[in-house]
Amino acid sequence: MLAGRLHVTDRALRVETVPMPEPGHGQVRIKVAAAGVCLSDVHLIDGTLTPLYLPDDAVTLDHEVAGVIDRLHLRP
């Protein structure tokens, strides 16, 4: 799937292909119809906010989403 990814080291915003997540026990996956960029995302982009703990130098933006449930995982 495509995701807006901010590379923190050079503040470059790129649209990249990332793996489709699978929901874990008690979770759902949402098929996103729309996503908003919030002020926290803007602060990440302009450098006034920096994440403390990242497994690499990139972070996926847009945590304000709307959509429908795409997959449901209820059993362990």
In angstroms, the CA 41 to CA 39 distance is 5
- Please give the helix or strand (H or E) that residue 46 lies within, else none: helix 39-46
Q: How many CB atoms lie within 10 A of CB 30?
A: 14
CB pairs under 8 A, 24+ apart, for 14-20? 16/58, 18/60
**pLDDT band, very low/low/confident/very high, at 37 (cuts 50, 70, 90):** confident
With a cut of 80, say whether residue 76 has pLDDT above it.
no
Residue 55 DSSP symbol: S
Q: Is the pTM of this model over 0.75?
A: no
Query: Which helix (H) or strand (E) covers residue 72, if one does?
Result: strand 64-73
Q: How confident is the model at residue 68 (pLDDT cuts 50, 70, 90)?
A: very high
At 61 the pLDDT is: 85
